[in-house]
Amino acid sequence: MAANQTQDGLKQQPEMDPQQLREKHYNATILDRIDNHENLARFLIRPDAGVPEFIAGQYVTLGLGFWEPRLEGTQAEDLPEKKQSKVAKRAYSISCPLLDQDGALAPVDQLDYLEFHITLVRGADSPDKPAPVLTPRLFCMQPGDRIQVGKKIVGHYTIGEVEPDATILMLGTGTGEAPHNAMTASLLAAGHRGKIINACCVRYLGDLVYLPRHHSLMDQYSNYRYLPCTTREPINLDKTLPSYVGKQYLQDLFTSGKLAEAADDPLSPENTYVYLCGNPSMIGYVPPGAPEPETPGLLPMLEAAGFRQADDHSGPGAVRFEKYW
């Protein structure tokens, strides 16, 4: 029997060691990794062929081989043998550093790398789901390590045509802030005259990776306002604190008028474009025929206020949202 055949006469692929597999599949290098805490980091990645042209708000896949080690303390993985030489891929919106090393505005079209704002998923959210495949491997990676970046940067969640004096309202949760950062820098670089409101809801203050940079942007651009809010800090949970504010969900802030007050803008559909990215429960999209959720998201609230869902950029009052389904 030939050495490259099985007993059934089928050809068997020659085994490749991890380095050979990396050389075959990887096409980019991790330039830097900035950890905000153990479960959250920024990854700066440079494709070998350079950064292709793309529009702020779009996404691309990142890939690591199933042969790569998994971070200790993450869910164990039941990996079939046929997958061991394959590449695990996941799509991520491209973020933006907002500022360069000198503190000047740094839109994505002026960068020679791609930036990603990524949360480590340590395990599946239910016992019947498989273990997460990418981030337990990604969080083992260090500057200089190799990785795969998808050949195409794609996506329809972009700024589009907006009136130069219109208000831009971006509402995100967690790492859903990433495309909004890219949009913010692009809008400011283009000289947008209207207000740019970037609101982000996270669990803890430590999840606000870009907070100092947003503060610097607000100092430089009078029409920019960053509005962070939290849900699990002591001020959100402990009613005995003088500073107690309760859980600050974007839905409640919008319907109560507190968001408009903090933005110092009426957030009217006559002059406002809205962008939503992050937790699907916050967005509140209900597919046709699906039951209404017990807790509505922002879409029905915005529609009740006179906004409308729009896949195109058909003037003020349009609501666009990133689709993860």
**Would the pLDDT of 20 be above 90?**
yes
User: Which of these ranges, 194-208, 250-264, 309-323, has the smallest mean pLDDT?
Assistant: 309-323
**Would the pLDDT of 313 be above 70?**
no
Query: What is the rounded average pLDDT of the residues 139-145?
Result: 98
Domains observed in the chain: 18-149 (2.40.30.10), 167-321 (3.40.50.80)
Query: What is the rounded average pLDDT of the residues 282-309?
Result: 90
What does DSSP assign to residue 176? G
- State the pLDDT confidence band at 189, using cuts at 50, 70 and 90: very high
Element (H, E) at 117: strand 114-119
**Hey, which residues does 197 pair with through a beta bridge?**
169, 225
User: Which of these ranges, 31-35, 188-192, 311-315, has the smallest mean pLDDT?
Assistant: 311-315
Average per-residue pLDDT for the chain:
93
What does DSSP assign to residue 154? B
The distance from CA 103 to its chain's CA centroid, rounded to whole angstroms, is 23
- Provide the CB-side half-sphere exposure for 164 (13 A, CA): 5
**Would the pLDDT of 178 be above 50?**
yes
The pLDDT of residue 323 is 76
**What is the pTM assigned to this prediction?**
0.92
**Would the pLDDT of 1 be above 50?**
no
The pLDDT of residue 127 is 83
CA distances from 218 to 39, 44, 184, 212, 254 (A): 27, 24, 11, 10, 22
